[in-house]
Amino acid sequence: MIDFGLPDYPRSTARLAPSRPVVLCLSGHDPSGGAGLQADIEALLAQCCHAAPAVTALTVQDTVDVSDFRVLDRDWVLAQAHAVIADMPVAAVKLGMLGSVEMVDTVLMIMDKLPGVPLVCDPVLRAGGGGALGKEDVGFAMRERLFAVSTIATPNLPEARILAELPEGSADQCAEKLLPYIEHLLITGGHGDESEVHNRLYLRDGSRHDFTCARLPGSYHGSGCTLASTLAGRLALGQDLIGAVKTALDYTWRTLRDAEQPGRGQFVPRRLPLDFS
Ligand code: PLP
């Protein structure tokens, strides 16, 4: 018997039970289940949030790499998002793969309907295996237009270098270039080769908070999605930004420590407990 921690309401009154905070996810679909919307849904479930997954793009990929993708038409994405917004109180929004400059502008149209709602932007440009999930123009459009309405962006260092147009830049140099565009910037260090991973949170007031963790062996598919959705979930739950970043980094590290290898390629974070008995 699964214990979800809910009172045992009779069926007719169950609707009166308070709902978990709703997080609208605008991300791509990854049929391997490691990244994209499935990662968002699993990570948000683990935070006790309700994921409302709206598809921005379809991808063809396995745990090794991506071979193709198709971005949905603007009208389809707007219709999905508006259906959710008209029906549920959205407590936070998480952005993953957008895939095109048009989709960046579509997100701006959606955020117009959600003033004041925290927005976590994971600037996805590449799959874990290295294949492109959008041209660099998409990153520049995010920087120029989307960052202004985002609470925080969560690039890894290679993504931060693309966004900052500093191919050899350090995290500090990239942050200096990007902070005029965005209030909070979390540059993750998982792609480096130091023995520890240095994740750095930059605030527009000039302060920097460092979160260091042990580097785990192997490479992972969906770690960035897991981090950004968890962070959106923690903000939806009302946690303060620095606390939410710490919780999201800790949770993501544990999902990587316990990761599985379901295919021939990268490891997939284990975001949910396996044993519900
Ligand atoms: N979103 C989609 C749909 C993807 O397919 C991928 C990677 O393959 C990502 C996001 C980013 O994955 P990661 O969290 O490994 O950076």
At 93-127, the pLDDT tens digits run: 999 999 999 999 999 999 999 999 999 999 998 88
Q: Is the minimum distance from the CB of 123 to ligand 1 under 6 angstroms?
A: no
159 contacts 133 by C-beta, under 8 angstroms: no
Q: Higher confidence at residue 12 or residue 46? A: 46
pLDDT recorded at residue 131:
83
44 contacts 229 by C-beta, under 8 angstroms: yes
pTM of the model: 0.92
Q: Is the minimum distance from the CB of 100 to ligand 1 under 6 angstroms?
A: no
Q: What is the pLDDT of residues 19-31, one digit of tens each?
A: 899 999 999 999 9
Residue nearest to atom 8 of ligand 1 (CA): 127
Question: What is the CA(175)–ligand 1 centre distance, in A?
Answer: 22
Secondary structure (3-state) at 256: helix
Q: Higher confidence at residue 132 or residue 5? A: 132
Count of H helices and E strands in the chain? Answer: 8, 9
Residue 228 phi/psi, 5° resolution? -65, -40
Residue 12 lies in a domain: no
CATH number for the domain including 51? 3.40.1190.20
* Start-to-end CA span in the chain (Å): 6
Question: What is the CA(271)–ligand 1 centre distance, in A?
Answer: 15
Residue 149 lies in a domain: yes
Residue 208 lies in a domain: yes
Residue 269 lies in a domain: no
Question: What is the CA(18)–ligand 1 centre distance, in A?
Answer: 32
The closest alpha carbon to 102, from 163, 156, 57, belongs to 57
User: Looking at the 3D structure of the chain, how many domains does it have?
Assistant: 1
Residue 79 lies in a domain: yes
Question: What is the CA(222)–ligand 1 centre distance, in A?
Answer: 5
pLDDT recorded at residue 134:
82
The closest alpha carbon to 91, from 110, 113, 119, 112, belongs to 119
Residue 4 above 50 pLDDT?
no
- Residue 30 identity: D
Residue 56 phi/psi, 5° resolution? -100, -30
Residue 270 lies in a domain: no
- Residue located via tokens 């309700």: 50
Residue 6 lies in a domain: no
Burial class (CB in 10 A: 0-12, 13-18, 19+), 105: middle
- Output the six-digit token pair for 66: 């991506």
Confidence of residue 10 (pLDDT cuts 50, 70, 90): very low
For the chain, the average pLDDT equals 92
- Residue 165 identity: E
Q: Is the minimum distance from the CB of 37 to ligand 1 under 6 angstroms?
A: no
Residue 10 lies in a domain: no
Helix, strand, coil shares of the chain as percentages rounded to 5? 40, 25, 40
User: Which of 124, 142, 219 to probe ligand 1 with, by most ligand atoms within 8 A of CB?
Assistant: 124
Q: Where are the alpha helices (DSSP H) in the chain?
A: 36-46, 74-87, 101-112, 136-141, 157-164, 171-178, 223-236, 241-257
Question: What is the CA(12)–ligand 1 centre distance, in A?
Answer: 40
Q: What is the mean pLDDT of residues 33-45?
A: 98
Question: What is the CA(99)–ligand 1 centre distance, in A?
Answer: 11
Residue 54 phi/psi, 5° resolution? -105, 130
Whole domain around residue 41: which residue ranges?
22-258
Residue 5 above 80 pLDDT?
no
Residue 153 above 60 pLDDT?
yes
